[in-house]
Structure 1
Amino acid sequence: MTAHAPVKATALGIRTNLAQFTLLVAVNALVGGMLGQERAVLPLLAEHTFHLTAYTAALTYILAFGVTKAAANYFAGAWSDRYGRKPVLIAGWLIGLPVPLILIFAPSWSWVVAANVLLGVNQGLTWSVTVIMKIDLAGPQRRGLAMGLNEAAGYLAVAATAMATGWLAAEHGLRPAPFLVGAAYAALGLGLSLLVVRETRGHAHHEAAITTQPSGPALTSGQIFTRTSFTEPALSSVSQAGLVNNANDGLAWGLFPLLFAAHGLTIGQIGLLTALLPAAWGAGQLLTGAASDRYGRKPFIVAGMLTQAAALALVALGTTFWVWAVALSLLGAGTAMVYPTLLAAIGDVTHPTWRARSVGVYRLWRDGGFAVGALLAGIIADLYGITTAIWTIAALTAASGLLAAIRMYETHPRT
């Protein structure tokens, strides 16, 4: 029995590691909830409480969030290889603890921006590490399913929390009630990560020992960055698609609530619409991640980016609640095709010895898209209006899908 213990401890597969895998799904739902507490409320807080009239100024919190999350993603990959997955996860939750309290008591908008710097670090460390840990546990055969479950949990929690905080804001005001939910999430996430989550780095070492995939020469972090960002066709296609995907999500997060409010929608209606995007996004990933294990990654990535572009065009054309409800559901469906599939493609191409660092580089680009989207959309909205900003991001999203169609090869062909 003793001789077999090490193999059991590092055996790969979702079913084999079901208890720990399920726990990590729950932890990532709490990570998503930390983001969801802001989705419906913060744009309205900028306008009604702090009286910000320029869209660019109002979107500074998304810019701060995107930049810090992108950087944290990069370091999460490197640190999880050096120090282990669990210490990085715990550090992310510790950094996220004060965020809800700062949002509740912020006397000026600069405090809100500072809270989003901390939130960006929290999201970058915790979400990146839960992704890496699930890849560690799942092994090569079910990465798409693993990523679908991970991202579904996170974004369904974003949706549920956005809806809940929208209702709380409508009933009890923009502060403090909505952010008390985030405080509970942070405390629970830290407790689970400290007491119940187990280290998974050994599973990656085990996969590296048994894999038939050639590792090639040892790669430096700089070489991994260059390969993931620019030179390897599939990895670089994934990176640019991730950046553009989150650019349009930054647009949706920052400007859609203001667009809906300008057309006379209530806070409750805005909260519902704000929840539709991550709800469709989250639920859809339960299907698309597993489907990409069967049919390949590239079709979902290309079709998803083009679907998002069409949905953004419908948002720009719409003026009523029901048109926007259809558009945001479609936008969520397109994002669901892309999100878990991009991560699974990274897992397909990279070797276990440098996979975590490549995931960190990809997520650096992907979440840098929040900053790109906030800055680009804010400037264009200030100069030409929200509708023009939406059309611009829609065109950029369509171009991203076409680029992936031309440059990317299939990383997980149907067997």
Structure 2
Amino acid sequence: MSSRHMNLAGFLIAGPVAHSHALWRNPSHEVPFLTTEYYVEVARKLEQGKFDLIFFADRLAIADRYGNDKEVGIRHGDQDSTRMDPVPILGALAATTRHIGLGATRSTTYDQPYHLAREFRTIDHLSNGRAAWNVVTSMNDGEAMNFGVESHLSHDQRYDRAEEFMELIFKLWDSWEEGALRLDRGKGIYADPAKVHYVNHDGAYFKSRGPLNIPAGPQGRPVIIQAGASDRGRAFAVKWAEVIFNISPTREHMKRSTLGVREETERLKRPAGSCKSLTAIMPFVGRTREEAQEKRDLANSLVDPMVGLSTLAAHSNVDLSMLDLDAPVEQLQSSGTQSLIAMASRIAKDNSLSLREIGRKYGESVLVPQLCGTAGQIADELADIFTSGDADGFVVSPAFLPDSFAEFADGVVPELQRLGVFRKDYTAATLRGHLHT
């Protein structure tokens, strides 16, 4: 039996789709993605499967880059057609789950450190130490315009701002020492002022006096998640994060991504294993591989190529409507998510795909690999990736909800447990504890 266990995260968006743009078109039942009960059911199923955490991706605008208009994305229901604020949802999940980690996305470009420090420390208290922040720098002009800015910060400027954001938010989280809260009712002493500190931060992007107005949380600092994959992005991610999420269409790419994280971890002199590399997968579980493939084909048949192109245009921050839908794609440009768009461009070129065809592929899974098989076959494949060192674990992205998570938790997880590569029960009290036991 393995002495270390893989980590599992469930991927969500608080809206009608995830990486699968077929999600809301589930032929089996309605998908009540605007209700509390929906997310509670999903989180409880993942907790039943002993997942480390659930986390919500987010963006701050509709996708209207394709044709510079809202028509395509809103009509077809792309990845940004609806995104509810995930942080209030974490509050509901904190009250209805006991063990699973709870993560939400917030942007360093369009938010303030003091505000975020309060949000995530509150979630950490209410969940007894299960909070995680998925750090993004935001990536396109639609978001900029919603915040009164005509165009987006450049890639490197976004990371410069993000670096200072992290420095300040960590200072704020550290402004209450452990033990500062006394609660001495007899003497009437609430807290020890000597253990609560002003931060007096004065930087290029932010000024904040501090201290935070919430005592130290169960985890000290919430767990940090990041998905930077460019050279600058990976350096930022490994410097600050404990979980790095990557999308790798092939096994070779998974291996390179994880190796890059480990090399950067060593370069920054962080302890080995302190930064987990989790790769995204979209599983289809069947009684036979053929049945699983039929499930995949059904899901993919519900994806309109235009919905994928709307999301692709938003991710690349480029209007793709000027290109011929049926001409082979030579090179996709990006001022947004650089690594993902480079992969899409390479896949299109290597396979002589037209823009319409890469739109369909992007809509099917945003390049997340789709795994088909029995529960045992998928578990064997994941165990091989893990034990080979090509990933520390997986971000499971659902084709349908709660269906995909139920099939994985009920079928694949017991097989992973049988193989000795995944926990049989929670043994830690906090999310950080889950990640390192």
- TM-score between both structures, scaled by the size of structure 2: 0.27
Q: When you count helix as a share of all residues, which structure comes out higher?
A: 1
Kindly name which structure, 1 or 2, has the bigger radius of gyration based on alpha carbons.
2
* Higher strand fraction (1 or 2): 2
Instruction: Kindly indicate whether structure 1 or structure 2 has the higher relative contact order, using CA contacts under 8 Å at least 6 residues apart.
Output: 1
Normalising by structure 1, what TM-score?
A: 0.28
